[in-house]
Chains A and B, each alone.
Chain A
Amino acid sequence: MTEPSDFTRHPIMANGYEQPFSITVPPEDLELLRKKLEVVTFPDEIEHADWDYGVPLAHMKRLVAHWKDGFDWRKAEGKINAFPQFTRDIDVDGFGTLNIHYVHQRSAVENAIPLLFIHGWPGHFMEARKIIPLLTASSPDQPSFHVIAPSLPGFGFSEAPKQKGFALTQYAEVAHKLMLALGYPEYVVQGGDWGYTISRKLTFMYGGKSVKAWHSNFAPVLFPSFWSNPFLFLAALVTPWTPAERAGLEHTKLFGENEMGYIKLQSTRPQTLGYALADSPVALLAWIYEKLMRWTDEYPWEDDEVLTWVSLYWFSRAGPAASVRIYCETMRAGELKSLTANRSSVPLGFSFFPKENFVVPKLWTRALGNVIYESEHERGGHFAAHERPEDLVSDVRQMFAKDGPAHGIVPGKSGYA
């Protein structure tokens, strides 16, 4: 058999210029999905399993039935295309040129703060859909932002790297070069999940000069290390935990015990897993839906919402298998240890959501770096931008407000008219 794989790299039309972009999934791709959904084979299920072994069968049957008959991708596509999207080529040292897709929504406020929003896995650029209108809105009472939400390489509608070894340095390089290409030599960053990790890398690589401040809602921190942060280490030893912190640690422990199989798999054998994710919409749906449900705080997912989310993976430019490589490449590059061990001096704002995957005492998070803003919430989980957009935006606004700790940190872009 000499057919190419279904995700052959298309020759790049290197143009150096920004191209406007709309998602238009080819009809034959929709047809293939429909055909596959028609021959779905479900497994059985242990009696009274509920979520004990993974996604319940009843959920899957309901979602698949709706995906087959009812879910309107073109309608969902139309709504996504309401956001101004573009593509442009970015050169990555040692990896050639990658065509990068992004939303670029400017505020009416000329001197709005340029904010780069970085998604994670199984997230995507549309995680920003609810916060974009809020962040870009103009008001004399709060700062406004120009928002750039890219698809990371290998995700959404960005190209995937071809060579081995594309890790944090490269993801950060792409993000930074995109901001420069858009005319934002100085900017701030917001991210959770891999967005946190890449943001942190950005602060080490371009902090102070370009990356002026950053905000995160996720931090896989551990107990402060005596070697890197002796003061915090001692403080953490003696400071009693609040009930909320204790509950958070218990939640974190359960997460570590039950929910991390996917990490071990994706960071060692992403290609083997990739065959299932590329071939079976049901496999992909289960794989992602599990996270959407387990990592959120009783968020009332609607079926169309879930299917739109998963379809973005199914119809992604590089295919869903490419998206899980980030785990493997990053672990193998060995960048994570130094990332956590070193302290970043770039001002950091942090939002605590109770159902995040890792919920640790505030004291531990201060080991991350120059924490200038903290906020605690009663509701919300891992996908904060999607679950609690007002909360997240409120935090970011407070951080950069006229009386906020990061006001005016980007010279000439105060966020106010």
Chain B
Amino acid sequence: MAQDAEQPFKLNVPDADLELLRKKLDLVRLPDELDEAGRDYGVPLADMRRLVARWKDGFDWRKAEAEINVFPQFTRDIEVDGFGSLNIHYIHQKSSVENAVPLLFVHGWPGHFMEAQKIIPLLTTQSSDHPSFHVVALSLPNFGFSEACKKKGFALEQYAEVGNKLMLALGYTEFVVQGGDWGRYIGQRLAYAYGNKSVKAWHTNYPRANPPTLRSNPLSYITSIVTPTTAFERAGIERGKWFQKYGRGYFEEQSTRPQTLGYSLADSPVGLLAWIYEKLVEWTDEYPWEDDEVLTWVSIYWFSRAGPAASVRIYCERVRAEYHDWWSPIPLGISFFPKELGAVPGTWVRTIGNVVQKSVHEHGGHFASHERPEDLAGDLRKMFAKGGPAFGVVSGKSGYA
């Protein structure tokens, strides 16, 4: 059903879907576990038992849904070259500051649009001391409450195209981008494809980078050789090695056989819960997850419009597409969090883009906007503040009243 204009959206999972989930939870069959396994083999059984029990009796999805619906949500159709029209879901929270900076927040996997929930109030709030933002947090196609793309080959270029066209459709002819995980790669593509046209600056908290080479980044290359790594960087590199050795199983499966995995994620709420919860714990910095918080997060995947199986296809399509080094001269801000996954020496990050700001933090991991919202919002405010390195990049939208 082609939808020409924006439609307001309220999340309202059908009762039948809640009933089906309840039925499946009633039939749960859990595996055993090795003695003293800890986290050594994956999610501990005790965690799963506790979470499943709560999901069955106690967790109130309607309450969680209502809290999500506090955010103004909409849907509209976006035409994607070669792929037809996709109905896209998004939060659009404007600031009371008329000339707030339009910011597109792009989530990753296993993230979702509500990763922005804590930073939205911080970014949109008005103050004479820092800039404000109009925030658009979309559900990427195949995620959340956006439509799935059923054609092969929907890769980073297409995700970026959706983001750009959405902002233009909302009347933001110029805007900035923030993203981690896939949001960083989509942000990088946005900066490359639309940089200095519609995209004026971008920020990421996932500074995974390739080492500079003499030919492509001579200055960075030389700097990287002569600059010793800091203790922060060395710890990050160690964590990176751990991740390469123990943490990439999901990546290998999702980038080769997403459909085979997808049957597990679509049919078993317990399978999905374990799959995502493992990341919520392993990728964060001792973040004190509450059970309802986890279950809300996973329920967004369980009740997603396209279903959880669609969400992992991005890995496969990305890995099969040609690799490009998308470097853009537009300003780039980077936040370094100690428990992020792809840590590299700071001297390498100029290979990602035109770095104008680097912020190093003491706490936080992969889901920075959820774990350390004040830190992340603070970094964005600094970047676009009066006197900041990206102040006024969006014409007529300085961020101040």
Asked if A9 lies at the interface with its beta carbon under 8 angstroms from chain B, I say yes
Q: Which residues of B contact A45 (CB under 8 A)?
A: 150, 259
Q: Tell me the complex Cα distance, A353–B91, Å.
A: 56
Partner of B263, one of A43, A160, A325: A43
Which of B196-204, B307-315, B381-389 forms part of the interface with chain A? B307-315
In the complex, are the beta carbons of A264 and B259 less than 8 A apart?
Answer: no
Q: Which residues of B contact A267 (CB under 8 A)?
A: 249
Asked if A42 lies at the interface with its beta carbon under 8 angstroms from chain B, I say yes
Chain A nearest CB from B314 CB (Å) reads: 12
Q: Mark A64-80, 1 if CB is under 8 A from B, else 0.
A: 00000000000000000
Q: Tell me the complex Cα distance, A111–B264, Å.
A: 49
Which of A48-56, A197-205, A222-230, A242-250 forms part of the interface with chain B? A48-56
Q: Tell me the complex Cα distance, A162–B41, Å.
A: 13
Interface-centre pick from B31, B45, B256, B310 (highest chain A CB count, 10 A): B31
Partner of A271, one of B23, B37, B260, B309: B37
Which of B102-110, B156-164, B272-280, B359-367 forms part of the interface with chain A? B272-280
Which of B47-55, B165-173, B391-399 forms part of the interface with chain A? B47-55
Which of A124-132, A273-281, A370-378 forms part of the interface with chain B? A273-281
Name the residue of chain B whose CB is nearest to the CB of A272: B42
Asked if B190 lies at the interface with its beta carbon under 8 angstroms from chain A, I say no
Asked if B43 lies at the interface with its beta carbon under 8 angstroms from chain A, I say yes
Partner of A55, one of B29, B249, B255, B260: B260
Q: Tell me the complex Cα distance, A55–B23, Å.
A: 26
Partner of A279, one of B20, B44, B260, B268: B268
Q: Mark B298-331, 1 if CB is under 8 A from A, else 0.
A: 0000000011111001001000000000000000
Asked if A339 lies at the interface with its beta carbon under 8 angstroms from chain B, I say no
Known: A7-B31, A36-B27. A270 touches B253 (CB 8 A): no
A21-41 interface (Cβ within 8 A of B) = 32, 35-36, 39-41
Chain B nearest CB from A224 CB (Å) reads: 27
In the complex, are the beta carbons of B278 and A261 less than 8 A apart?
Answer: no
Q: Mark A318-331, 1 if CB is under 8 A from B, else 0.
A: 11111001001000
Known: A265-B249, A267-B249, A279-B268. A1 touches B31 (CB 8 A): no
In the complex, are the beta carbons of B148 and A44 less than 8 A apart?
Answer: yes
In the complex, are the beta carbons of B42 and A270 less than 8 A apart?
Answer: yes
Q: Tell me the complex Cα distance, A46–B270, Å.
A: 24
Chain B nearest CB from A254 CB (Å) reads: 11
Q: Which residues of A contact B259 (CB under 8 A)?
A: 43, 45-46, 49, 53-57
Q: Which residues of B contact A47 (CB under 8 A)?
A: 150-152
Known: A36-B27, A282-B263, A322-B31. A269 touches B41 (CB 8 A): yes
Q: Which residues of A contact B34 (CB under 8 A)?
A: 161-164, 325
In the complex, are the beta carbons of B32 and A321 less than 8 A apart?
Answer: yes
In the complex, are the beta carbons of A261 and B270 less than 8 A apart?
Answer: no
In the complex, are the beta carbons of A264 and B31 less than 8 A apart?
Answer: no
Asked if B62 lies at the interface with its beta carbon under 8 angstroms from chain A, I say no
Name the residue of chain B whose CB is nearest to the CB of A273: B42
Asked if A8 lies at the interface with its beta carbon under 8 angstroms from chain B, I say yes
Chain A nearest CB from B289 CB (Å) reads: 16
In the complex, are the beta carbons of A275 and B252 less than 8 A apart?
Answer: no
Q: Tell me the complex Cα distance, A268–B249, Å.
A: 7
Q: Tell me the complex Cα distance, A36–B33, Å.
A: 22
Chain B nearest CB from A29 CB (Å) reads: 9
Q: Which residues of A contact B36 (CB under 8 A)?
A: 163-164
Number of A-B contacts (CB under 8 A): 224
In the complex, are the beta carbons of A41 and B249 less than 8 A apart?
Answer: no
Known: A39-B20, A40-B267, A162-B34. A46 touches B262 (CB 8 A): no
Q: Which residues of A contact B271 (CB under 8 A)?
A: 275-277, 279-280, 283
Q: Tell me the complex Cα distance, A264–B257, Å.
A: 13
Interface of chain B, helix or strand or loop or mixed? helix
In the complex, are the beta carbons of B41 and A275 less than 8 A apart?
Answer: no
Asked if A266 lies at the interface with its beta carbon under 8 angstroms from chain B, I say yes
Interface-centre pick from A55, A273, A290 (highest chain B CB count, 10 A): A273
Q: Which residues of B contact A260 (CB under 8 A)?
A: 252, 256
Name the residue of chain A whose CB is nearest to the CB of B271: A276
Q: Tell me the complex Cα distance, A160–B23, Å.
A: 30
In the complex, are the beta carbons of B30 and A271 less than 8 A apart?
Answer: no
In the complex, are the beta carbons of B42 and A269 less than 8 A apart?
Answer: yes
Chain A nearest CB from B238 CB (Å) reads: 17
Asked if B122 lies at the interface with its beta carbon under 8 angstroms from chain A, I say no
In the complex, are the beta carbons of A276 and B275 less than 8 A apart?
Answer: yes
In the complex, are the beta carbons of A261 and B275 less than 8 A apart?
Answer: no
B128-182 interface (Cβ within 8 A of A) = 148, 150-152
Asked if A233 lies at the interface with its beta carbon under 8 angstroms from chain B, I say no
B39-80 interface (Cβ within 8 A of A) = 40-45, 48-50, 52-53
Q: Tell me the complex Cα distance, A284–B312, Å.
A: 18
A70-117 interface (Cβ within 8 A of B) = none
Q: Which residues of A contact B316 (CB under 8 A)?
A: 53
In the complex, are the beta carbons of A283 and B309 less than 8 A apart?
Answer: no
Asked if A239 lies at the interface with its beta carbon under 8 angstroms from chain B, I say no
Q: Tell me the complex Cα distance, A126–B58, Å.
A: 44
Known: A265-B253, A271-B41, A275-B48. A322 touches B263 (CB 8 A): no
Asked if B258 lies at the interface with its beta carbon under 8 angstroms from chain A, I say yes
Chain B nearest CB from A111 CB (Å) reads: 43
Known: A54-B262, A268-B246, A271-B42. A259 touches B256 (CB 8 A): yes
Known: A44-B310, A268-B246, A328-B41. A261 touches B29 (CB 8 A): no
Asked if A403 lies at the interface with its beta carbon under 8 angstroms from chain B, I say no
Asked if A15 lies at the interface with its beta carbon under 8 angstroms from chain B, I say no
In the complex, are the beta carbons of A48 and B29 less than 8 A apart?
Answer: no
Partner of B252, one of A40, A264, A290: A264
Q: Tell me the complex Cα distance, A312–B150, Å.
A: 35
Name the residue of chain A whose CB is nearest to the CB of B57: A1
Q: Tell me the complex Cα distance, A24–B61, Å.
A: 41
Partner of B33, one of A39, A53, A271, A273: A271
In the complex, are the beta carbons of B270 and A279 less than 8 A apart?
Answer: yes
Name the residue of chain A whose CB is nearest to the CB of B246: A268
Name the residue of chain A whose CB is nearest to the CB of B40: A164
Known: A262-B253, A271-B37. A32 touches B27 (CB 8 A): yes
Q: Tell me the complex Cα distance, A275–B46, Å.
A: 12
Partner of B31, one of A49, A60, A278: A278
In the complex, are the beta carbons of B32 and A7 less than 8 A apart?
Answer: yes
Q: Tell me the complex Cα distance, A40–B27, Å.
A: 12
Question: Which residues does B use to contact A, with CB under 8 Å?
Answer: 20, 23-24, 27-37, 40-45, 48-50, 52-53, 148, 150-152, 245-268, 270-275, 278, 306-310, 313, 316
**11 new A-B pairs (CB below 8 Å) besides A44-B150, A46-B151?**
A3-B49, A43-B262, A43-B307, A54-B257, A162-B35, A264-B249, A271-B43, A272-B42, A276-B265, A286-B260, A319-B29
> Can you sample 22 A-B contacts with CB below 8 Å?
A5-B33, A36-B24, A41-B20, A43-B309, A48-B152, A53-B259, A53-B316, A55-B260, A164-B40, A259-B257, A261-B255, A267-B249, A271-B45, A274-B42, A275-B275, A276-B275, A278-B30, A283-B267, A319-B31, A321-B31, A322-B31, A328-B41
Question: Which residues does A use to contact B, with CB under 8 Å?
Answer: 1, 3, 5-9, 32, 35-36, 39-49, 52-57, 60, 160-164, 257-280, 282-283, 285-287, 290, 318-322, 325, 328
Closest 4 CB pairs of A and B: A276-B271, A54-B259, A272-B42, A54-B260
